[in-house]
Amino acid sequence: MSGAFAAGLVAGYGVAIPVGAIGALLVGLTARTSLKVGAAAALGVATADGLYALAAVLGGAALGRLIEPIETEMRWASAIILIGLAVRTAVAAFRQKSTVDKNPTTPVRAYFTLLGLTVLNPATIVYFGAIVIGGTAGTASGLGTGMVFVVAAFLASASWQLLLAGGGSVVGHFLSGPRGQLVTALVSSVVIAVLAVTLVT
């Protein structure tokens, strides 16, 4: 069991630590809103990682084969949604600088938005599937051990995403004026748009 837990932690951090579009979105969202909203969004990302870890433990290679034919479509869908969010953030920042002070999103909305975006990332299921197939998840001895792996992967992802949200909160604290928040929103929009483009190039 301890081996599966350690493997789950390694797998969870392995998929969470590389900061891509989701990480940039999480930091920017927290900086513009609040730590409460950012923490909810972080748990949405971690939930998706946990669900993919569970799917990989239960289905392994079969799920990888199911996703492979539509991987390109999933990447395009994710990129389109991210670009839409980037545009919306930039437009709102220009339209009314004070918008960011009014917490334009709720924790529940942030949770489900980031959950949905992370689920659209086909690389996550391929990643967890490869780990399980390779035997490093320690799941061969039964479902119970596999569940330990899933819980550990979720905890690792959650701890990293919450750290990113905390960083976004610090940035938001230092850039709390209208001009600082406008700059934060625009920088976040550009970063998210660039990372979205890299998903499909």
List, for residues 85-144, the tens digit of each pLDDT value: 778 777 766 765 544 444 457 999 999 989 988 887 766 666 666 665 555 444 445 667
Judge whether 39 and 162 are in contact, CB under 8 Å.
yes
Q: What is the pLDDT of residue 138?
A: 45
Q: Which two tokens stand for residue 154?
A: 């979720």
Q: What is the pLDDT of residue 123?
A: 66
Secondary structure letter of residue 52 according to DSSP: H
Q: What is the pLDDT of residue 197?
A: 77
Nearest to 29 by CA among 96, 79, 125, 104: 104
Alpha-carbon distance 172 to 76, whole Å?
30
Residue 43 above 90 pLDDT?
A: yes
Tell me the average pLDDT across 159-187.
76
Secondary structure letter of residue 141 according to DSSP: T
Higher pLDDT, 78 or 134: 78
Provide the 10 A C-beta neighbour count for residue 1: 12
Q: Which two tokens stand for residue 13?
A: 């951090």
Alpha-carbon distance 57 to 43, whole Å?
21
Q: At 179, which amino acid appears?
A: R
Q: What is the pLDDT of residue 32?
A: 81
Q: What is the pLDDT of residue 99?
A: 43
Per-position b or e across 176-193, b if 16+ CB within 10 A of its CB = eeeebbbebbbbbbebbb
The alpha-helical segments, DSSP class H, found in 120-177 are 122-133, 143-174
Strand positions, DSSP E, the chain: none
Count Cα atoms within 13 angstroms, Cβ side, for 13. 8
Q: What is the pLDDT of residue 158?
A: 95
The pLDDT-based confidence of 79 (bands split at 50, 70, 90) is: confident
Alpha-carbon distance 85 to 182, whole Å?
15
Alpha-carbon distance 3 to 107, whole Å?
35
